[in-house]
């Protein structure tokens, strides 16, 4: 009975996550992002821990290793939007990792702000597509053998 309840909970979490992403995407398309941007003080380490916990619930076979070089990192940002961004990054890392491989999530303070890195050992991004992906102007197709590891790193001046 407990296993069945866990599977139902995981399915509900996946559906809720999908619906939230669809709603947010429609807001962006409609140009209503400013109406839904609500910055406040938050602990970035706690947001990342919650994202990792959710993804572990959704994909229990995947090993997610958290490495936070700071216990708490207080910033002013929109917690819901950051949760969505990091959920998408981690979800993609899980999706493109072979057989539920290891995924590293790191958080560190940097001179210019904060560095969050989600690193998987999946199929990677084709070298010609890498620059377009970092600019946010295109999506990559399944990469050929000449691809680079698909690490998603964010450096932000917070």
Q: What is the pLDDT of residues 85-143, one digit of tens each?
A: 898 899 889 988 877 789 999 999 888 788 899 998 877 777 777 666 655 544 544 44
Q: Give the CATH architecture of domain 38-156.
A: 2-Layer Sandwich (3.30)
CA dist 88 and 92 (Å) reads 6
Question: What does residue 41 show for φ and ψ, rounded to 5 degrees?
Answer: -70, 135
Summary mean pLDDT of the chain: 77
The predicted structure's pLDDT at residue 104: 94
Report strand pairing: 113-119 vs 63-68. Answer: unpaired
If you search the block for the tokens 């936070």, which residue do you land on?
68
The residues, any chain, with a CB within 8 Å of residue 102's CB and separated by 6 or more, are 63, 65, 120, 121
Say whether pLDDT at 9 is over 70: yes
């Amino acid at each position: 009975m407990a296993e069945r309840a866990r599977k139902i909970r995981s399915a509900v979490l996946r559906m809720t996550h999908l619906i939230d992403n669809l709603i947010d995407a429609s807001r962006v398309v409609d140009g209503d992002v400013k109406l839904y941007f609500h910055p406040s003080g938050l602990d970035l380490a706690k947001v990342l821990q919650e994202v990792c916990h959710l993804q572990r619930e959704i994909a229990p076979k995947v090993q997610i290793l958290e490495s936070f070089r700071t216990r708490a990192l207080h910033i002013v940002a929109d917690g819901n939007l950051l949760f969505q961004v990091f959920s998408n990054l981690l979800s993609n890392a899980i999706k493109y990792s072979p057989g539920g491989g290891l995924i590293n999530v790191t958080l560190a303070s940097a001179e210019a702000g904060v560095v969050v890195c989600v690193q998987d050992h999946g199929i990677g991004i084709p070298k010609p597509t890498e620059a377009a992906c970092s600019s946010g102007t295109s999506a990559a197709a399944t990469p050929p053998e000449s691809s680079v590891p698909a690490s998603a790193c964010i450096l932000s001046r917070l």
